[in-house]
A and B are shown apart, each in its own frame.
Chain A
């Protein structure tokens, strides 16, 4: 059996689609696991999955060890040798713990899977994103964490059902004191057709111009990691790259970004890249379709005028 699990139902539905794509070729069945989440279980069943609902207040979602304990028992009980998790932060933390419990090989941030000769060939970024590595897991159990949005969520389908699964859980050693939603500007940069991406070559005073240029082009504003995490000019939801989002826009206008591998991995699937940088050696200029060596302080006001 292929067992899928994510605490986020929308990601679990993506995993269900991934599992469906593998199941036929591998000749396996599919099971979906949910923990203390009735509505998630119903949604998965409505997408056709045989869904197992664990109801146990002792399980602590904020503790990877606790959740891994449940998944280990479920995998063994249901004879599931392939476990698909989501590669969000919770999923990645869980993946390593579960893999160690099952003595399994594990791949995270997987961006593609293909069943070939009974094995699952997985692709993921390596060397910070400079290369794409194709690997397969050889151990009896396989733990694979799939990058969000690699698969479109499974659509509604008949035949699914929910059944309870009785599982023991040890008392968690991690105590959740409080949780708070990040109140930040969110954006769907992964599906945008046009992106204007700003880096540290930008000055804060010019951010308004960047917004205006994005608006004039009908695009979304996105950024390199330090613009969000160090400068906090934009929300983390807008980060392009290895630890941010992998985007495939028709057009990316990249302003004041040096183009280190961890950034470019998020933009290399763009159809057209236009880059402006004042350093002619900047790597981003080499991977651009249109490259302009210029100072943003001069270019931005003029560009805004030209586009409006």
Chain B
């Protein structure tokens, strides 16, 4: 059985600088989305308990070929990548089309696992879209996954309740960031990652045009204005005084 995990390459968010309210992305290194690493770890754990072949899939620019090594080191067996330099900052509907077409290239798919939200866009729609495109059942916001034979038992964590659900494989699952603690790859795993198989495709291989999918227009993308007093406090009495004044209580 193939266990498929979708991981997205995103800029290292803490390294993005803001200049004239615009995000500066030049020189910012790429990494995999934080929650996508939890999705991958969930896949690794299922492989360890149930066996199977762990495939990571990703759509993005040419840099993904390098970034994906992180996933291959962390336990994926192989990667299927859709690469094109036009695929930077793509919208969810196109990501979903590309990922669904990629999954279709694989046989015997049991699970397709997503993160609850991508690192940069955090929109939580790509997994649902792929499930619809593939005609598969889905369970989102998983905090626990167990697979027995052809049946997955999933705990879904909602804001105010937990649900236990069962679904026949193949199925699509999205995981929460707190489902697990991704392990740190060992040096040997990192060395081996470079030699693991990668299947690289472009849009033509999948018969998809990047322009046909445009459904969202972006009008602006600006950092909010942030004007703070920037006063330094040295002592606890000063701290208490500031809190009293600004909190508007206990000043009398």
Contacts and interface: CB of A to CB of B under 8 A. Distances in A.
B231 A290 contact: yes
A180 B157 CA distance: 10
A65 B132 contact: yes
B165 interface: yes
Interface stretch (B54-62, B187-195, B199-207, B243-251): B243-251
A65 B128 CA distance: 9
A126 B163 contact: no
Nearest to A265: B224
Contacts of B132: 65, 68, 96-97, 100-101
Interface in A65-79: 65, 68
A121 B221 CA distance: 13
A92 B121 CA distance: 13
B161 A181 contact: yes
Interface string A90-116: 101111110111001111110000000
B93 A99 contact: yes
A290 B242 contact: yes
B13 interface: yes
Nearest to B133: A100
A127 B16 contact: yes
B215 A105 contact: yes
B231 to A, nearest CB: 5
A253 B243 contact: yes
B122 A109 contact: yes
B4 to A, nearest CB: 17
Contacts of A64: 128, 131, 138, 140
Given A107-B123, A109-B123, A250-B248, A174 B93 contact: no
B169 to A, nearest CB: 11
A289 interface: yes
6 contacts: A64-B138, A88-B159, A100-B133, A177-B164, A194-B247, A289-B231
Given A174-B138, A289-B246, 8 more contacts: A93-B140, A93-B174, A126-B120, A136-B219, A174-B167, A179-B162, A268-B224, A287-B226
Interface of B: 11, 13-14, 16, 18, 23, 91-93, 96, 116-117, 119-129, 131-133, 137-141, 153, 156-168, 171, 174, 177-178, 214-224, 226, 228-234, 236-237, 239-240, 242-244, 246-250
